[in-house]
Amino acid sequence: MKILNARQMAEVDSLTTERYLVPSILLMENAGRSVADEIERSCPGLQNKSISILCGPGNNGGDGFVVARHLALRNARPSVVLFAEPERLKGDALTNFKIASAMKIPISILPVPASSKSFLAEGIPPDIIVDALFGTGLSKPIGPGFGQVVNWINKCSRRSYVVAVDIPSGLVADSPLIPGPAVKAQLTVTFTALKLAQIMPPAADLAGRVVLAQIGSPSELLDNPEYRLNLIDSALVRSTVPVRDRDSHKGSFGHVYVVAGSRGKGGAALMTGLAALRAGAGLVTLWLPQSLQQNVSGRFPELMTEPLPETDEGTSTRAGAERLLEQLRQADALVLGPGLTTNESTKRLVWELVHRSPVPVVLDADGINAFVPPAEPLVNELGQPVVITPHPGEMARLTGKNTSQVQESRIDNARECAARFGCFVVFKGFQTVVAGPEGDVFINNTGNPGMASGGTGDILSGMVGRFVAAWKKQDSRSLLHFLSSAVHLHGLAGDVAAEKEGVDSLIATDILTFLPEAFRRVSQE
């Protein structure tokens, strides 16, 4: 699902009219009607509720006039407050103001700031407030005049149901930050495509429930390859998990090799391998230090195991690289890193495998740490893609920044990391970001704080390995879809676990337990 910035959104609107001859006033009509539709769904008994629609001087205010008209046609009793002189209105907004006036919808004219003070000071807050003050064109903090209007809306929100038209006024569409006074809405009805401020906190925390309405722009306009920001949704996941053919066999769904574990960290290897299986891999083989292999073998009969030479500390060594590389020709993906440690010989094993693997590589945990500080791009000599799955600390070490810096701008840092190292990045954390080396980005919105516990990253690594194995070497952009599917299902399984078990007691293996339900929910949406 596309996320557009303000410039791109204006471009889509303009092309809709210029190329497809859809009048701009029809787009405004569809936008206002869609808001009225959602208000009617969300607030039964509109005829008995007081409704104030607050309009600014631009097209967002024009949308508000259309909302008022459609609510009036449904026997509701809306009133409009225009915080501008009517002479300031232009084009479609002026036309809809005249229509609302002709329909005798009550309209109060209160130019900001002076005339609005008495209105803001008097009366009982309405049942519903529609915020149509500013839209996605806002590029700076609103001034003190409109600031007092925003503060009034937020004060009323303890009693009133606040609906934002397109975006809560005061937010800048392209930024997750809150630049100044901004409306806190319970519902935002946005148009054509999502905006970053509705997705990423703290700005997104002011949007409430976000409903996306299509108002008439042809979908092919959103397929512009220059529009590189996306939200992962169930439709994308379904495209990577087709219905299985009746004559399928275990070889149909990929063989994942997992090189993981060390003395005391066998659990990381087990969770990674089990996650790959539970996510749908046909076969999984764990490659483990020899002494660990003896302890792990047979604990889960579905997992195959192979031994690797080990150091005195119980970690895998470079000596096992040639045999493993030869055997990798039987695999479809390699997951490398969980629980490996950063023993020097182990790091040399990691370097050999990343550079020489004949299959795509998923690099996690100590696999990533083996390349810190990075001296070169994470590029495979055979042209196989490399996927890294850093948490914020690992991302900081890779980029030479501190954790706060990488967290302040997660999207930009994921994109820059992918471009710098020539790899695919799954930047873990709240709203995991998936980025490709060409600049495409996918943002996840599943998951919860209960997943902040040891092992959840190992589960994700195994799931990513399974989806990389299923990718079957298609184009690089489609690999982002498969990575995004793993991330979305991982978070969704965590959400199901939180529903069933609660957030505080959630552990990593709960994600495995509820992963089948996550798949089922996605398939049925």
Quick one: what percent of the chain has pLDDT higher than 90?
90
- Cα separation, 135 vs 131, whole angstroms: 10
Q: What is the mean predicted confidence (pLDDT) over 52-62?
A: 97
Going by pLDDT thresholds of 50, 70 and 90, the confidence category of residue 221 is very high
Q: How many domains does the chain have?
A: 2
Q: How far apart are CA 71 and CA 238, in angstroms?
A: 37
- Measured between alpha carbons, how far is 304 from 377 in angstroms, rounded to an integer? 32
One domain for residues 189 and 281: no
How large is the average pLDDT for residues 15-23? 98
Whether residues 498 and 353 share a domain: the answer is: yes
Asked if residue 64 is part of any domain, the answer here is yes
The answer to the question of residue 371 being in a domain is: yes
Residue 115 has pLDDT above 80, yes or no: no
Task: Provide the token pair at 421.
Answer: 């190292």
Burial call 316-326: b when 16+ CB within 10 Å, e when fewer: bbbebbeebee
Indicate if 299 and 200 belong to the same structural domain: no
In a domain, 78, yes or no: yes
Q: Which residues contact 134 (CB under 8 A, 6 or more apart)?
A: 56, 58, 60, 142, 146, 167, 169, 170
Tokens representing 380 are 């495979």
Q: How confident is the model at residue 374 (pLDDT cuts 50, 70, 90)?
A: confident
Under the banding of pLDDT at 50, 70 and 90, the label for residue 487 is: very high
> Are 261 and 180 in the same domain?
no
3-state secondary structure (DSSP) of residue 316: strand
Same domain, 430 and 324: yes
Could you tell me if residue 229 is inside a domain? no
Contact 459, 511 (CB under 8 A): yes
The yes-or-no verdict on residue 87 having pLDDT over 80 is: yes
Q: Does the pLDDT value for residue 41 go beyond 70?
A: yes
Residue (of 331, 270, 333, 354) closest to 467 by Cα position: 333
Which of these ranges, 57-71, 107-121, 177-191, 332-346, has the smallest mean pLDDT? Answer: 107-121
Edge-to-edge strands, sheet with 50-55:
107-109, 77-82, 50-55, 128-132, 161-165, 187-191, 209-213
Under the banding of pLDDT at 50, 70 and 90, the label for residue 114 is low
| The one-letter amino acid at 441 | V
Pairing type for strands 128-132 and 255-259 reads unpaired
DSSP letters spanning 319-346 = GGHHHHHHHGGG-SEEEE-TT----HHH
Any domain includes 245: no
Note whether 290 and 156 are same-domain residues.
Answer: no
Question: Is 273 contained in some domain?
Answer: yes
- Same domain assignment for residues 349 and 483: yes
Q: What's the pLDDT tens digit per position in 390-408?
A: 999 999 999 999 999 999 9
Share of the chain above pLDDT 70, in %: 98
pLDDT at 122: 65
Query: Would you say residue 113 has pLDDT above 70?
Result: no
In this structure, what CATH number is given to the domain that contains residue 125? 3.40.50.10260
Count of CB atoms situated within 10 Å of the CB of 257: 30
Kindly provide the residue ranges of all beta strands, DSSP E only, lying in 119-267, ordered along the sequence.
128-132, 161-165, 187-191, 209-213, 229-231, 255-259
Same domain membership, residue 138 and residue 263: no
pTM here is 0.93
Q: What is the DSSP letter of 313?
A: T
pLDDT tens for each residue of 461-477? 999 999 999 998 777 78
Q: Check whether residue 304 and residue 206 sit in a common domain.
A: no
How high is the pLDDT of residue 118?
66
Average pLDDT over residues 65-93: 96
| Residues constituting the chain | 525
Residue 113 within a domain: yes
Look at residue 372 and tell me if it is in a domain: yes
Name the residue with tokens 């790899």. Answer: 423
SS3 16: helix
- 472: which 2 tokens? 């079957």
> Which phi and psi (to 5°) does residue 283 adopt?
-145, 145
d(CA 206, CA 364): 34
Q: Measured in whole angstroms, how far is the alpha carbon of residue 132 from the centre of its chain? A: 26
Q: Is the peptide bond before 113 cis (omega within 30 degrees of 0)?
A: yes
First to last CA, the chain: 15
- Given a cut of 80, whether residue 116 has pLDDT beyond it is no
Tell me: do 83 and 191 sit in the same domain: yes
∠ CA 195-198-202, rounded to 5°: 130
Structure tokens at 268: 């990381």
110/127 Cα distance (integer angstroms): 21
CA 308 to chain centre: 38
Tokens of 288: 């483990």
- Residues 307, 406 within the same domain: yes
Domain with 478 in it: 234-240+250-524
Other CB atoms within 10 A of residue 169 CB: 26
Residues 478 and 340 in one domain: yes
Best CA proximity match to 307, nearest among 327, 325, 293: 293
Distance CA 227, CA 312 (A): 52
**CATH code of residue 365:** 3.40.1190.20
